Amino acid sequence: MLDTALTSTQRRTALEAMSGEEGLDILVVGGGVTGAGIALDAAARGLRTGIVEMGDWASGTSSWSSKLVHGGLRYLYQLDFALVHEALTERGRLLTTTAPHLVKAQPFLWPLKHHYERSYSAVGVGLYDALAIAGARGHQTVPVQKHLGRKGTRALAPALDPAKLVGAIRFYDARVDDSRLVIDLVRTAVGLGAYAANRTWVTDFLKDDHGSVAGAVVTDLETGESHEIRAAQTINATGVWTEATQDLATDAGGLKVLASKGIHIVVPKEAIDAETGIFLRTEKSVLFIIPWQRYWVIGTTDTPWEQDVAKPVATAADVDYVLDHANEVLARPLTRADIIGVYAGLRPLLQPQLRPGAEAASTKVSREHTVTRVAPGLTAIAGGKLTTYRVMAADAVDHALGEAGAHAH
Ligand SMILES: Cc1cc2nc3c(=O)[nH]c(=O)nc-3n(C[C@H](O)[C@H](O)[C@H](O)COP(=O)(O)OP(=O)(O)OC[C@H]3O[C@@H](n4cnc5c(N)ncnc54)[C@H](O)[C@@H]3O)c2cc1C
């Protein structure tokens, strides 16, 4: 990735350039991983590109994740091989080519409570490793699974209660500093000629004489000034704000996106004596205990959130859920006194049905994300995850340009 500073002068110049006469080919609304990836993809195709973000880069969902670059082992148990293969292919690409400075291989121990779990778990992890190698065209980008008995498990993770397990499987995924990934994507896009302005809020869309979206009206939250940014195509990449953003253009059609809350607790490194991360299956999903600098990040949960999407918060019940599941395997149970931080984020949960008035013919439903034409000149994309941002970005730009345009760029 290129290293381009994002200074306040650069921001001011970018806003001036974006609101100039010439107009943009593509305006991206939303500076999370989805929007940042789109801006990079569009700039790399040589398109005159701009990206605006109302808060700071990655201030939405993209800085409150589990910080994993992963295929999603749990999806294997839902038999969604294609989804896992796609994400593992992206994991390999990030580890080796696009962001090896940010994405690092991360070992996890999967503690086994009963002997009979071993063969069942080994098949899943074996398939996971095989799909990763297939995605990297035969290369092994992280070590494959290793089976451990009680002694081997204890050597790697003394914190695990030996009375509660018969051994473990060690497997690899990868971790990333999520907000740095977003900032690097924006900086790389800027290095390729894109204009980028944070603290720039889209308050309305511009329409041409035929009613097509022709850019956006933005408020510079540093100065309070309003600007018009003209663009041939605008892409809405505003995550859990997707519906609020598309409502500015039309009340018919577009994506339906709900918010699902996930929380993490943060405890100091000393609270858990282990050299690797820990992976647990729960009755609802999975729980990760992830080494993070001088801390452990533990999560996550999955509950509907119907309040202000700008301010998700953890409840006492969320914290109890995380503590209870972590304590199922730890010799010294964690208590609230161990917790030094809690954070919550909202998954943009794509609903299978589009909003009434949406054109099915102009919609591409992928495994995890969907891209659709909300109105002429306005495309929306939502869903997916950090790991697959590049696939989402390519789909969004292709869709916005249309078949002929995508072929030309
Ligand atoms: C708890 C949790 C854990 C997760 N863990 C992982 C993981 O480990 N690995 C993984 O791959 N994925 C993970 N994910 C998924 C991943 O984090 C999200 O899919 C991804 O961050 C969504 O990015 P986004 O850009 O679509 O949305 P966001 O990051 O929310 O970006 C949207 C942006 O749009 C901006 N915006 C909204 N309205 C406007 C407007 N009118 N004008 C200008 N800007 C606007 C917002 O400020 C926001 O910054 C996790 C998600 C959660 C919630």
Sketch the domain layout of the chain as residue ranges: 8-62+179-255+353-408, 71-148, 257-350
Is the confidence at residue 349, as pLDDT, over 60? yes
How many other β-carbons are positioned within 10 Å of the β-carbon of residue 360? 8
Range of weakest confidence among 138-142, 281-285, 335-339: 281-285
302-341 pLDDT, tens digit each: 999 999 999 999 999 999 999 999 999 999 999 999 999 9
Query: Is ligand 1 within 6 A of the CB of residue 37?
Result: no
Range of weakest confidence among 105-114, 131-140, 289-298: 131-140
Query: Is ligand 1 within 6 A of the CB of residue 98?
Result: no
Mutate to test the pocket of ligand 1, among 220, 385, 388, 395 (most ligand atoms within 8 A of CB): 385
What is the pLDDT at residue 209?
95
d(CA 392, CA 409): 17
Mutate to test the pocket of ligand 1, among 289, 386, 391, 395 (most ligand atoms within 8 A of CB): 386
The yes-or-no answer to whether 8-62+179-255+353-408 and 257-350 have a common fold is no
Q: Which residue has the higher pLDDT, 408 or 297?
A: 297
Is the confidence at residue 4, as pLDDT, over 80? no
CATH top class, domain 8-62+179-255+353-408: alpha beta
What is the pLDDT at residue 363?
61
Query: Is ligand 1 within 6 A of the CB of residue 50?
Result: no
145-183 pLDDT, tens digit each: 999 999 999 999 999 999 999 999 999 999 999 999 999
Is the confidence at residue 407, as pLDDT, over 80? no
What is the pLDDT at residue 367?
55
What is the pLDDT at residue 342?
98
47-80 pLDDT, tens digit each: 999 999 999 999 999 999 999 999 988 888 888 8
Instruction: Please give the distance, rounded to the nearest whole angstrom, from the Cα atom of residue 157 to the centre of ligand 1.
Output: 32
Q: Minimal CA–CA distance to 237: which of 315, 285, 182?
A: 182
Instruction: Work out the pLDDT band at 291, boundaries 50, 70, 90.
Output: very high
| Nearest atom (ligand 1) to Cα of 346 | 53
d(CA 162, CA 290): 20
d(CA 219, CA 245): 14
Q: Domain 257-350: which topology?
A: D-Amino Acid Oxidase; Chain A, domain 2 (3.30.9)
SS (H, E, C) the chain: CCCCCCCHHHHHHHHHHHCCCCCEEEEEECCCHHHHHHHHHHHHCCCCEEEECCCCCCCCHHHCCCCEECCCHHHHCCCCHHHHHHHHHHHHHHHHHHCCCCCEEEEEEEEECCCHHHHHHHHHHHHHHHHHHHHCCCCCCCCCCEEECHHHHHHHCCCECHHHCCEEEEEEEEECCHHHHHHHHHHHHHHCCCEEECCEEEEEEEECCCCCEEEEEEEECCCCCEEEEEEEEEEECCHHHHHHHHHCCCCCCCCCEEEEEEEEEEEEHHHCCCCCEEEEECCCCEEEEEEECCEEEEECCCEECCCCCCCCCCCHHHHHHHHHHHHCCECCCCCHHHCCEEEEEEEEEECCCCCCCCCHHHEEECCCEEEEEEECCEEEEEECCHHHHHHHHHHHHHHHHHHHHHHHC
Instruction: Please give the distance, rounded to the nearest whole angstrom, from the Cα atom of residue 178 to the centre of ligand 1.
Output: 10
256-275 pLDDT, tens digit each: 999 999 999 999 999 999 99
Q: What is the mean pLDDT of the chain?
A: 93
| Nearest atom (ligand 1) to Cα of 381 | 26
d(CA 91, CA 98): 10
| Nearest atom (ligand 1) to Cα of 33 | 25
Could you tell me if 27 and 197 are in contact, meaning their C-beta atoms sit under 8 angstroms apart? no
What is the pLDDT at residue 232?
98
CA 69-189-239 angle, to 5 degrees, is 55
Instruction: Please give the distance, rounded to the nearest whole angstrom, from the Cα atom of residue 156 to the centre of ligand 1.
Output: 34
Is the confidence at residue 238, as pLDDT, over 80? yes
Above pLDDT 90, what percent of the chain? 85
What is the pLDDT at residue 358?
66
